[in-house]
C-alpha cells in the first residue's frame, strides 16, 4: 500500500504521557501533555527541547512502544493500536546484532517479512550507504560511523512510510556526523518518506528539516514554537550553516528555546542535588 500524500503520515492529537515517578513511586510524573504534532507525507520534522523534557517519550508514542495516557496517535489516517508497523526506527543506542555480519543484520528484517530476494536487496542497501565491500564484517569490526550506516540500511531496507529517529548520530564525531546527516538527506530526497527526528542539537535540526518544533521544559512539556525552515534543498549540512538565513532562523528558534533549556538545566541540577 502506498501512502496517500493528502493524509498526514503521523498525527499526535492532544497526547499526554504520565509515568510513575522514578524518584517517588507514590507520585506520578506527567512528562508531556497537550501535544499536537503532525508530520505530513514526505515531510522532515524535527523536535528540539531541553534535556529530559519528553522528546523520546513522544517518539516512543509514535512508535507504539508507549501508550498515551490521553489523546490519540494516528498513522496514515488510522488510529495506532500496538506497534507502529508503518514506521522504521533509528535510536541513539547501537541496534545491530553483534553475532551477525553487516549483511546479515540488514537482511534480518527482510527475511522476517518473508522477502524472497532479501540478500540482493540487503546488498543493494549496503552499497547505497557506502558499505558495499563490508557486508561480511561483524559490527565490532566496523567504526561507529559504519555501524550507523548499517543501521540506516537496516531501517530503510524495510521501506517504511515513516522514519522515527532519536538522536541517531549523537555518539559520532562532528565530521562523521555531518557526513551521515548529508547521506540521510540524500536518501530522504530520493524516497521522500515522512521523518520525525529528535535531537538536542538545534543546528542539526535546522540543517535537516522542513519544520522544527520546540518543546517546553517538563513536566507537562508541550510545543511552544514551530518554525518552517525555508532553506533551499538540496542542502549540505555544513555549508548551509554559514548562510544568513540559517543564522536568522537559528536566532529566532534559540530565542524561544533558551529559556526552556535553562529551566531544564536547573531542574537537572536540583534532581542531582536531591
Ligand atoms: N519509564 C519511565 N518511568 C518514569 N519516568 C520516565 C520514564 N521514561 C521517561 N521518564 C521521565 O520522563 C521525562 C521525559 O523523558 P524523555 O526520555 O522523553 O526526555 P528527552 O527529552 O528525550 O530526554 P533527553 O533529551 O535527555 O534524551 C524525564 O523526566 C524522564 O525521567
Q: How many CB atoms lie within 10 A of CB 81?
A: 10
Among candidate residues 5, 55, 10, 7, the one with its CA nearest the CA of residue 195? 10
Query: What's the mean per-residue pLDDT of the chain?
Result: 92
Residue 33 Cβ < 6 Å to ligand 1: no
Work out the widest C-alpha separation in the chain, in whole angstroms: 56
Say if residue 103's pLDDT is above 60: yes
Q: Which is higher by pLDDT, 91 or 179?
A: 179
Domains of the chain, CATH where assigned: 1-86+164-169+192-274 (3.40.50.300), 88-159 (no CATH)
| 183 Cα–ligand 1 center, Å | 29
β-strands 194-198, 44-48: how paired? parallel
Overall average pLDDT of the 142-152 stretch: 90
Q: State the pLDDT confidence band at 270, using cuts at 50, 70 and 90.
A: confident
Residues 6+ apart with CB under 8 A from 221: 31, 32, 33, 35, 49, 53, 54, 215
Q: Name the grid cell of 264.
A: 531544564
Q: State the pLDDT confidence band at 274, using cuts at 50, 70 and 90.
A: low
Q: Name the grid cell of 80.
A: 495506532
Say if residue 133's pLDDT is above 90: yes
| 39 Cα–ligand 1 center, Å | 22
Mean pLDDT lowest among 30-39, 211-220, 261-270:
261-270
Residue 53 Cβ < 6 Å to ligand 1: yes
User: What is the model's pLDDT at position 22?
Assistant: 76
Contact 84, 75 (CB under 8 A): yes
Q: State the pLDDT confidence band at 214, using cuts at 50, 70 and 90.
A: very high
Alpha helices in the chain (DSSP H): 55-63, 102-112, 118-128, 144-157, 174-191, 202-208, 237-240, 244-273
Contact 216, 35 (CB under 8 A): no
Residue 17 Cβ < 6 Å to ligand 1: no
Say if residue 105's pLDDT is above 60: yes
| 48 Cα–ligand 1 center, Å | 14
Atom of ligand 1 nearest to the CA of 21: 4
Q: Rounded to whole angstroms, how far apart are CA atoms 107 and 157?
A: 8
Q: Which residues are registered as beta bridge partners of 225?
A: 214
| 32 Cα–ligand 1 center, Å | 10
User: What is the model's pLDDT at position 2?
Assistant: 55
User: What is the model's pLDDT at position 1?
Assistant: 52
Using most ligand atoms within 8 A of CB, pick from 29, 32, 52, 68 the residue to mutate for ligand 1: 52
User: What is the model's pLDDT at position 265?
Assistant: 85
pTM to 2 decimal places: 0.93
Atom of ligand 1 nearest to the CA of 60: 18
Overall average pLDDT of the 87-107 stretch: 91
Say if residue 171's pLDDT is above 90: no
What b/e sequence results for 60-70 when a residue is b if at least 16 CB atoms lie within 10 Å of its CB, and e otherwise? bbbbbebebbe
Residue 119 Cβ < 6 Å to ligand 1: no
pLDDT per residue as tens digits for the range 3-14: 567 899 999 999
Say if residue 33's pLDDT is above 60: yes
Tell me which residue has its CA closest to atom 2 in ligand 1.
19
Q: Which residue has the cell 537482511?
A: 107
How would you class 267 by CB atoms within 10 Å of its CB: exposed for 0-12, middle for 13-18, buried for 19 or more? middle
User: What is the model's pLDDT at position 93?
Assistant: 78
Amino acid at each position: 500500500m502506498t501512502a496517500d500524500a493528502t493524509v498526514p503520515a503521523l498525527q499526535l492529537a492532544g497526547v499526554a504521557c504520565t509515568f510513575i515517578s522514578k524518584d517517588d513511586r507514590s507520585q506520578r510524573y506527567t512528562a508531556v501533555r497537550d501535544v499536537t504534532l503532525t508530520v505530513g507525507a514526505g515531510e522532515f520534522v524535527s523536535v528540539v527541547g531541553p534535556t529530559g523534557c519528553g522528546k523520546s517519550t513522544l517518539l516512543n508514542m509514535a512508535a507504539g512502544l508507549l501508550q498515551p495516557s490521553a489523546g490519540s496517535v494516528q498513522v496514515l489516517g488510522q488510529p495506532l493500536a500496538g506497534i507502529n508497523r508503518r514506521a522504521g526506527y533509528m535510536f541513539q543506542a547501537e541496534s545491530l546484532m553483534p553475532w551477525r555480519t553487516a549483511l546479515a543484520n540488514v537482511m534480518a528484517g527482510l527475511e522476517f517479512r518473508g522477502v524472497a530476494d532479501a540478500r540482493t536487496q540487503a546488498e543493494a542497501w549496503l552499497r547505497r550507504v557506502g558499505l558495499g565491500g563490508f557486508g561480511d564484517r561483524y559490527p565490532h569490526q566496523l567504526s561507529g560511523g559504519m555501524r550507523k550506516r548499517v543501521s540506516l540500511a537496516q531501517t530503510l531496507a524495510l521501506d517504511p512510510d515513516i522514519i522515527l529517529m532519536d538522536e541517531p548520530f549523537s555518539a559520532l564525531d562532528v565530521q562523521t556526523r555531518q557526513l551521515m546527516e548529508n547521506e540521510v538527506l540524500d536518501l530522504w530526497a530520493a524516497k521522500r518518506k515522512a521523518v520525525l527526528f529528535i535531537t538536542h542539537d538545534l543546528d542539526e535540526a535546522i540543517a535537516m528539516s522542513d519544520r522544527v518544533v520546540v518543546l517546553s521544559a517538563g513536566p507537562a512539556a508541550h510545543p511552544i514554537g514551530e518554525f518552517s525552515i525555508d532553506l533551499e534543498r538540496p542542502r549540505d549540512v555544513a555549508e548551509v550553516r554559514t548562510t544568513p538565513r540559517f543564522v536568522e532562523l537559528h536566532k529566532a528558534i534559540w530565542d524561544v528555546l533558551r529559556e526552556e533549556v535553562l529551566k531544564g538545566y536547573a531542574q537537572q541540577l536540583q534532581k542531582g542535588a536531591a
